[in-house]
């Protein structure tokens, strides 16, 4: 599986990370090396093997539907990049 510059640009857009043309070249080289390492997996026959995500046989817990969190808007907004009247500010998205 070999990557191209246009793949890097597409992945970067999906990941919401700006990558300049110069950075894309370096990134292509490094990512290709990592994918080469990962490629070793393809030689393994995994037919019928159940994928594993947790080592223990656990199920998702449920909790009573009760209010457990208190309002901490002022505290949380004190570390926000831009707020006004209790709202988070972002560039205009609707004309």
Residues that bind other proteins (CB under 8 A): 3, 7-8, 11-19, 27, 30-31, 33-42, 44, 46, 49-56, 58, 60-61, 63, 72, 75-76, 78-82, 88, 90-93
d(CA 19, CA 16): 9
CB 83 within 8 A of CB 77: yes
Give the tokens for residue 73. Answer: 């808007």
Q: How far is the CB of 38 from other proteins (least distance, A)?
A: 5
Question: Angle CA(14)–CA(44)–CA(37) in degrees, nearest 5?
Answer: 50
Please tell me whether residue 90 adopts helix, strand or coil conformation: coil
Q: How far is the CB of 31 from other proteins (least distance, A)?
A: 6
Q: How far is the CB of 87 from other proteins (least distance, A)?
A: 11
* Phi and psi, residue 32, nearest 5°: -65, -40
């Amino acid at each position: 599986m070999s990557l191209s510059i246009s793949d890097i640009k597409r992945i970067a857009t999906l990941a919401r990370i700006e990558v300049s043309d110069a950075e894309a070249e370096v990134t292509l080289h490094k990512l290709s090396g990592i994918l080469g390492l990962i490629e070793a997996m393809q030689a393994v026959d995994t037919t019928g093997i159940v994928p594993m995500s947790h080592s223990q046989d656990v199920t998702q817990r449920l909790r009573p539907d009760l209010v457990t969190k208190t309002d901490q808007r002022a505290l949380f907004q004190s570390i926000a990049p831009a707020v006004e009247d209790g709202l988070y500010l972002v560039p205009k998205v609707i004309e």
